[in-house]
Amino acid sequence: MAMLSIVIPVYNTRPEHLERSVRSLLNQTYKEMEILLVDDGSGEESSEKLKELAALDPRIRLIRQENAGASAARNTGILAARGRYLTMMDSDDSIEPEAYEQVIRKLQKSGADAAVFGFREMAADGTTTDHPAIKGRRTALENPEKILAIIAVSASQRGGGYPWNKVWDLERIGKAQLFEEGIFCYEDKLWCMEMYQKCRKVLLLPENYYTYYENAQSLSRGDSISKEEAVKKRRSALQAYERIREVLPQKSAAHWAATLFWMKTIVAGVLKKTL
């Protein structure tokens, strides 16, 4: 079996959420993996829990760095990864035990460059919403240009622009793209779009293997924000979409979709006075 590298950025994640996340990986039926826990300058509680978890299994590699943000932590993991396959995970989510075995088996059989699977969104009250990468029971091979046009304006269709419900075959597409560290909103979508442009065919899977917990506190989740923070977030979103428009082929369907979203973001920012 070829190695799968799983990159998990961690910043002050609650110990019980870290436990849930790492345990779901150790329970995977696909055994040839490395789990890269990147501690992005967490406080004592999270750091001690990471040390405890790293001692559970030799496949876990704990990497510590000064706080530099989610993108920098993911880049540290990408640069340290040794596997043929690459995926990501948030430090407070979980994944079904058979997920990676099924995904990699189907990816190898299909000859695709990457695989995308669905996710389940769990709210604080326990209610769930499913977001399959493709509806129905069958898998499908899709042109990445079509996926780019869809995820440019959608948060969940075709798997959305998230790094944690995708497996990339680096032997087929080459070196993984690094995240742009100066952007903190839609930086994951930008990264996915750059990765998709390395692909010729993408495998879409109907199963919702990944669970995204809305109530968890992590690098990408937080409480209500101030107006000042809202302004920073809106400006970062615009910066991300300016970069997305730069990296997408001119006059393509994806470029037009990204331009439309970019314009809507500007209008919304003006109306809400968050620009």
- Check: CB of residue 158 under 8 Å from CB of residue 226: no
Q: Which of 220, 219, 223 is nearest to 11 (CA)?
A: 219
Q: What is the DSSP letter of 206?
A: E
Structure tokens at 72: 């920098």
pLDDT at 271 over 60: no
What is the crossing angle of helices 144-151 and 187-196, to 10°? 160
Torsions phi, psi of 141, nearest 5? -95, 135
pLDDT of residue 219: 45
> Is 83 exposed, middle or buried (CB count within 10 Å of its CB: 0-12, 13-18, 19+)?
middle
Beta strand segments in the chain, E: 4-10, 33-40, 60-65, 85-88, 94-95, 114-122, 128-131, 140-142, 166-169, 202-213
> Is 26 exposed, middle or buried (CB count within 10 Å of its CB: 0-12, 13-18, 19+)?
middle
pLDDT tens-digit series, residues 131-150: 999 998 789 999 999 999 99
pLDDT of residue 270: 47
Give pTM, 2 decimals. Answer: 0.91
pLDDT of residue 21: 98
Architecture of the domain defined by 4-213: Alpha-Beta Complex (3.90)
| Distance from C-alpha of 192 to C-alpha of 195, rounded to nearest angstrom | 5
Structure tokens at 249: 């082929």
Strand partners, 118: 208
Instruction: Report the pLDDT averaged over residues 183-200.
Output: 95
